[in-house]
Structure 1
Amino acid sequence: MAIQLTAIRTQNTLPEVPDLGLTYVSTLDLFHADGSRAGSGVASSAIVDLTPSGPVVLSQIVLTLAGGELQYQRVIDRFGSYPRTAAGAILGGTGKYRGSSGDVEITWPDEDRIELTIKPVR
């Protein structure tokens, strides 16, 4: 069963003009579709390519939810106008998410909001 979440970025250390290899962190507040609090998240990211259009970013994300943590990884081209989209791969989890794999569909409607559709399988 898919998990729908909205993530609101609360912190981001990515500078406006990043260098290749730069690492940065982002923190997130997570919400269910009804607006209730779902948990929190943190992303550790690195600039893996710089193009004339913008950076390409590899991120490891940990979502802390009721019943455990879920970890996923994704790559996104951070260029062009919003919305931006990406896909992630679930790497595993803890608690009720232990042994999970699957996909994450990611849409950034704007700079600080992220829509997540998490599709864990066991």
Structure 2
Amino acid sequence: MKIKKIYSKKNKKKLIHMVFRKNSKNRKSRENISPEKQFLQVANINLNKNDTFKAHKHIWKKPLYKKKIAQESWVVIEGKVKVYYYDTDGVFITSTIINRGDLSISFEGGHNYKALTNKTYVYEFKTGPYEGVKLDKVFI
């Protein structure tokens, strides 16, 4: 299994979480993982020596949306974690273990994880700007 999509049980068409497994056999140079309409855009990029791309910068633009949600992603650098996924109403859906090189993305719904090994090291990415706990999250 390379990509696992987790849908809301309340709204079966709503994608709320994804797990992307590191796959050294993937031959595509670039694979977009996140659907284009999500705020957090994630891609898998495979490079060989001297591969590059055209230098660029991103431009400021007016938002198209009247409201936004913080979306979050984790990449396991070392160790392994058990991730717990919750629906948009806070009800537990499923859990999975992600290993070194694996990625978890939460577009909506709840989430947390537990380290399963000592010296587990995780990179976290989320949309911003961060405006404090009161405007960012609700604990479940």
When normalised by structure 1's length, the TM-score is 0.26
Higher RCO by CA contacts (8 Å cutoff, separation 6 or greater): 2
Higher strand proportion: 1
When normalised by structure 2's length, the TM-score is 0.24
